[in-house]
Amino acid sequence: MSGAVDRRFQPSLFREEDAAGFLELALTVVDRDTVEELLHYEDGEEREQFALNALRIGVLALRQARGRVDADLIQRETQRMLTGLESHLAAHATEINGKLAGSLKEYFDPESGRFHERVQQLLKPDGELEQLLRRQIGGDDSQLCKTLVAHVGAQSPLLKLLSPHESEGLLAALRKTVEGQLTAQRDHVLREFSLDNKEGALARMVGELTNSHGQLTEALEKKIGAVVEEFSLDKEDSALNRLVRNVDRAQTTITREFSLDEEQSALARLRRELFGLLEQQGRTNAEFQEEVKVALGKMMARREEAQRSTRHGLQFEEAVCEYLEFDAARRGDVATRSGHTTGLIKNCKVGDCVLELGPDCVAAGAKIVVEAKEKTDYNLARAREEIETARKNRDAQVGVFVFSKHTAPDSLEELSRSGNDVFVVWDPQDSGTDLHLKIAMALARALCIRVEKRQESQTADFEAIAQAVLEIEKQSGYLGDVTKSAETIKSGADRVLERVRKTRNSLERQVEVLNERIGDLKRISGEPTA
């Protein structure tokens, strides 16, 4: 037979605990996989035992499969029973709910319920509850009234006990007890503070004070005697004698150390050190003075050379632009050097620097053009023409013309204004004139705000700004007069300096007022303040 093995075998006997008997089977195995698996074992008992085990496993598997089918059947029947039970329970619950609702309505219905009727009988006027309360606590013959009369009435034992007229009462007994205790305490205190009673507290205290006073007197006399001996000059080793000797030694030492006659004294050594330092300092000062003279000579030579050449004007313009850039960076504005570029006017480069106000300013985007000149042939009229040209060329609202102090006309004030143009005199080498340029730029910013903002609601703020501008112009005139007086008049220096101080303080206050008003304008316009 090809593809299968026809083999008969005699299976082994089952054990008695596994089956009641045995069954002899003659099997022909035709399944290829089973045949291949059986061929792995040797013919005989080993193969028979493997075949029996495989047969047992298959039987158990079939039995388990048949049990799963029974379980599915039981599950379906159980589900059907549960469905029927659920319907019966729902019908029963509906019936119970109907009966319960009827019973509750019979008792608790607000119109015909027995409970409502019973409550009405109890609570209605002259009802059962009112009659019961009246019998118990209502009249003079009620149970409550009889009980109170029996326990706290006029003839009750309690009132008899509390009555002040009863000799056997509680108050009488309390009075006797308190009087007895007070009498006993008074007698005890009198005995303790009586000098006739030797064992009393007062007598003992007097005796102890007498003994202590005597001992204190003796000890005090001894201490005073010892102190007198210590402060006596007659006793050689007394404290006063030791102190005098120490003072004499210290005085001698101090005199010796502060004497110039002693070569090794502290004062003599200090003198030598000071002389040495002074000589060294003199040599150092002489060398420094020579260096300063040489440096000053070179500086003066360079300055004279710059004054003779055309370069000095460019240096002054550079210094003005640097100052404006520094001040603009601090305030959030933008300063741009424009002296080498043409503007709106063809082939025109007038306007050395353009300052554009930053976004934190009320007049954000407004422009201030600055023209700086260090030439002797520029007067105020020519400066007005040039700054007007600069404003048109740079499309600026306000112009600032900066004169050099070295070349400015003598009749020119330190600070002045004409319309939307500000004229100022500045010296980059003199920090005292920085205030002039600072005030000029503050005036220019205020003028920009006045040009940009003209709403009626801001009239009061612009009036304050105008007053501040006028006050600055007035005080600037004083400052110019005082500066000229200080340069030409040496007498009365105190008065001149006091006037300069007052004028400077007034200018600083007006600048503060101007800045405050600008801040108010920012708040009114809703702009963020710096």
Structure tokens at 452: 């940009």
**Model confidence over 233-271: pLDDT tens digits?**
777 777 777 888 888 888 788 877 777 777 787 777 887
Largest CA distance in the chain: 157
Rounded to whole angstroms, the Cα distance separating 244 from 235 reads 13
Q: Do the bridges between strand 353-356 and strand 415-418 make them parallel or antiparallel, or are there none, so unpaired?
A: unpaired
Q: What is the pLDDT of residue 204?
A: 83
3-state secondary structure of 30: coil
Phi, psi of 415 (to 5 degrees): -150, 130
**Model confidence over 318-373: pLDDT tens digits?**
899 999 998 888 888 999 998 889 888 888 989 999 999 988 888 888 899 999 98
pLDDT exceeds 50 at position 12: no
Structure tokens at 53: 């085990």
Reported pTM:
0.36
Most confident of 4-18, 98-112, 511-525: 98-112
3-state secondary structure of 138: helix
Task: Tell me the HSE value of 304 on the side-chain side, using a 13 A CA sphere.
Answer: 6
CA 94 to chain centre: 69
Rounded to whole angstroms, the Cα distance separating 318 from 476 reads 25
Rounded to whole angstroms, the Cα distance separating 109 from 43 reads 95
Rounded to whole angstroms, the Cα distance separating 158 from 223 reads 76
CA 347 to chain centre: 59
**Which strand (E) or helix (H) includes residue 369?**
strand 367-373
Is the CB of residue 336 less than 8 Å from the CB of residue 356? yes
Average pLDDT, the chain: 77
List the single range of 52-61, 90-99, 249-258, 393-402 with lowest mean pLDDT: 249-258
Per-residue pLDDT band for 7 (boundaries 50, 70, 90) equals: very low
- Give CA separation, 432 vs 30, 318, 426, 438, in Å: 125, 19, 9, 11
- Give CA separation, 332 vs 329, 361, 371, 395, in Å: 5, 9, 21, 21
Phi, psi of 187 (to 5 degrees): -60, -40
Query: Regarding predicted confidence, which is higher, 68 or 384?
Result: 384
Q: What is the CA radius of gyration of the chain?
A: 63
Is the CB of residue 338 less than 8 Å from the CB of residue 352? yes
pLDDT exceeds 80 at position 524: no
**Mean pLDDT of all residues in 479-487:** 60
**Which strand (E) or helix (H) includes residue 335?**
strand 334-337
Q: What is the pLDDT of residue 424?
A: 92
pLDDT exceeds 80 at position 449: yes
Beta strands in 394-434 (DSSP E): 398-404, 415-418, 421-426
List Cβ neighbours of 379 (8 Å cut-off, separation of 6 or more).
409, 412
Q: Do the bridges between strand 421-426 and strand 415-418 make them parallel or antiparallel, or are there none, so unpaired?
A: antiparallel
Q: Do the bridges between strand 398-404 and strand 367-373 make them parallel or antiparallel, or are there none, so unpaired?
A: parallel
**Model confidence over 100-125: pLDDT tens digits?**
888 887 777 777 777 777 777 777 78
Rounded to whole angstroms, the Cα distance separating 223 from 450 reads 93
